[in-house]
């Protein structure tokens, strides 16, 4: 593996861990018995997920439509690849918000509002096509002059 690719995968792993921390921190206001557990349970899945996200980044850089690949990523991360002890769905949702924002799209929803859809994805009840349609429906192209703080957006989202 080329050192550039290794470096990109390390950066993406770091983004995953930051997104997970954001998802965990979003529950800090809850009573102790409702807070989520922390920790990783599968390093291999983290590596695989980083590779999947690197493919999306590559498509993004090439100006390609990322929605089909993003829908695959959503399905794999929420349904198949459990990296963390808890907050896998919220972490996936957070990462999707970040990726769409990088592609100048705003995912106009929040986790609580679309919780049932996200749970259905995690239960394997949604197809990749349904997820892609949902992502497209909920996404709005940002104008060049619009500046949304991704940090504020994610705090509101989860």
Domain count, the chain: 1
- CATH no. for residue 18? 1.20.120.1870
The percentage of the chain sitting over the pLDDT mark of 70, rounded to a whole number, equals 82
Question: Which residue in 93, 86, 5 sits closest to 50, CA to CA?
Answer: 5
Tell me the average pLDDT across 5-20: 85
In degrees, rounded to 5, the angle at the alpha carbon of residue 132 between the alpha carbons of residues 42 and 104 is 90
Q: What is the pLDDT of residue 18?
A: 86
Q: Out of 55-59, 69-73, 104-108, give the one with best mean pLDDT.
A: 69-73
Is residue 88 situated within a structural domain?
Answer: yes
Q: What is the pLDDT of residue 158?
A: 46
pTM of the model: 0.79
Tell me the average pLDDT across 73-98: 86
Angle of helix 88-102 relative to helix 43-61, nearest 10 degrees? 20
User: In a 3-state reduction of DSSP, which class is residue 105?
Assistant: strand
Tell me the average pLDDT across 2-20: 83
Is residue 34 situated within a structural domain?
Answer: no
- Per-residue tokens: 68: 């089909």
Residues 87, 106: Cα–Cα separation, whole Å: 22
Is residue 98 situated within a structural domain?
Answer: yes
Is residue 134 situated within a structural domain?
Answer: yes
The percentage of the chain sitting over the pLDDT mark of 90, rounded to a whole number, equals 27
Q: What is the pLDDT of residue 39?
A: 67
Tell me the average pLDDT across 18-42: 70
Residue 151 has pLDDT above 70, yes or no: no
Domain containing 124 equals: 3-29+40-157
Is residue 35 situated within a structural domain?
Answer: no
């Amino acid at each position: 593996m080329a050192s550039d690719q290794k470096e990109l995968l390390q950066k993406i792993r770091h983004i995953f861990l930051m997104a997970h921390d954001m998802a965990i921190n979003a529950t800090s206001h809850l009573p102790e018995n409702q807070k989520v557990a922390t920790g990783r349970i599968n390093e291999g899945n983290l590596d695989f997920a980083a590779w999947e996200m690197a493919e999306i980044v590559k498509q993004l850089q090439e100006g390609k439509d990322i929605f089909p690949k993003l829908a695959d990523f959503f399905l794999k991360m929420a349904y198949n690849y459990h990296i963390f002890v808890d907050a896998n769905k919220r972490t996936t949702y957070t990462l999707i918000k970040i990726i769409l924002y990088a592609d100048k799209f705003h995912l106009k929803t929040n986790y609580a509002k679309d919780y049932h859809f996200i749970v259905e994805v995690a239960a394997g009840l949604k197809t990749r096509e349904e997820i892609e349609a949902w992502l497209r429906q909920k996404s709005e192209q940002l104008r060049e002059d619009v500046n949304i703080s991704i940090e504020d957006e994610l705090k509101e989202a989860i």
